[in-house]
Amino acid sequence: MFAPMTIQQAAIQIKQKLKEIYTERESAAITDRVLEKLTGVKKTDRIVNRDKMLSPEQTGLLGNWLHRLMNHEPLQYILQEAWFGGLKFYVDKNVLIPRPETEELVDWIISDCKFPIRELTLLDMGCGSGCISVFLKKKLRKAEVWACDVREDALHVAQHNAETSGAEIIFRQLNFLNEEERSKLPSFDIIVSNPPYVPEKDKAQMQPNVLNYEPSSALFVPDNDSLVFYNAIAGFGKKNLNAHGAVYVEIHEDLGEKVLNLFRSNNYRAVLKKDMQGKDRMIKAIYGA
C-alpha cells in the first residue's frame, strides 16, 4: 500500500518503478495511461492539478496495478481495455491484445471495397476479441458480417464488444480446422483472419508479457505444421468464396513466401504486403483469378 501522494508524486514513482523492466519510452506511455484511467482526466489537466492528492481508493488501486505490471502483466488486461482503429475494446486473458499490424490488414480491406456498398458478406475467422469484425462492421455498415472462434470464452468477449459498439454481427462457435464444422458456414465475398501463426520454437524469444498472459491457443502452431490454418482457409475459400471474392490474412514475418506459395498452389492469385515496419505481414488472395 502506497503512502498518501499527489498526482505528480504518483507519476514519478510509477515511472521510476517501471523503468526496471521497461524502456524509458514504454514507462512514460504506461504511466500516462495508468494515471488517466485512475484519475479520469487527460495529461494536461493532470499537470494543472499535479498537487491534488489521490484518494485512498485510488492509491490502493494504483498499488495493485503496479504490482501486476511489475509481474509483466499487460496493461490492457489490467485496465481491461485496448484500442483498435480508434475504437475501445474490452479485453481479458481469453483473447489476444489487438496489434497495430492488424489495423493495417483491415485498412487494406476497406481501401479495396467499392463504395457505395450494396451487398457484401464477410467472415472473420478466429475472431478473438472481435476487433476485426466489429471495426469492419462499423466501417462497412451495409455488410453482413460473420465471426467464428473455437473458444467459447473468446466469443463472449467478442459478443460483448459487438453489443457495446452497436455492431450487428452473426457469431458462430466452431473449430475451423474441422472441415465438417466449417462446411456449415455460407459463402462470403471476403474472408479475413489473423490466425495462430507463431511456431512453438519461437516461444524462447517471446517477451513474458505475451508468453505468460496471452492465450497460447490463439498464438502458437506446431513447428511441423505452421501453415495449418492457412491450408484450412485456402480450402474453405475454394468452396465458399463468392465470385471475385478475396481472402485477407495476417502472417508470420518469416513465413511470407511459404504462405504465398500455399495460396498460389491452390489456384489463388496472391500478393504479399509488408507492414509499416517493413516486415512481411499480410496476404490477399483471390481464388481462380
Q: Which three cell numbers stand for residue 268?
A: 489463388
What is the distance between the alpha carbons of residues 78 and 69, in angstroms, rounded to a whole number?
A: 8
Other residues' Cβ atoms within 10 Å of the Cβ of residue 260: 19
**Residue 3 confidence (pLDDT) above 90:** no
What is the distance between the alpha carbons of residues 40 and 52, in angstroms, rounded to a whole number?
A: 13
More confident of the two residues 115 and 245: 245
85 in the Ramachandran plot: left (φ > 0), alpha (ψ -120 to 50) or beta? left
Contact status, residue 140 vs residue 122, Cβ threshold 8 Å = yes
Q: For 199-234, what is each residue's pLDDT tens digit?
A: 999 998 999 999 999 999 999 999 999 999 999 999
Q: For 251-281, what is each residue's pLDDT tens digit?
A: 999 999 999 999 999 999 999 999 999 999 9
> DSSP for 167-228?
--EEEEE--TTSHHHHTTS--EEEEEE----EEGGGGGGS-HHHHTTS-GGGTEE-GGGTTH
Nearest CA among 145, 190, 185, 184 for reference residue 166: 145
CA distances for 64 relative to 24, 58, 61, 164, angstroms? 22, 10, 5, 27
Q: Which three cell numbers stand for residue 182?
A: 466449417
Q: For 46-83, what is each residue's pLDDT tens digit?
A: 989 899 999 999 999 999 999 999 999 999 999 999 99
Q: Report the half-sphere exposure of 99 (CA within 13 A, side-chain side).
A: 15
pLDDT band per the 50, 70, 90 thresholds, residue 289: low
Nearest CA among 139, 118, 135 for reference residue 127: 135
**Residue 116 confidence (pLDDT) above 90:** no
What is the distance between the alpha carbons of residues 60 and 43, in angstroms, rounded to a whole number?
A: 21
CA distances for 128 relative to 2, 151, 199, 273, 275, angstroms? 36, 8, 19, 23, 21
Q: For 119-175, what is each residue's pLDDT tens digit?
A: 899 999 999 999 999 999 999 999 999 999 999 999 999 999 999 999 999 999 999
pTM: 0.94
In this predicted structure, which of 103-117, 136-150, 176-190 has the lowest mean pLDDT? 103-117
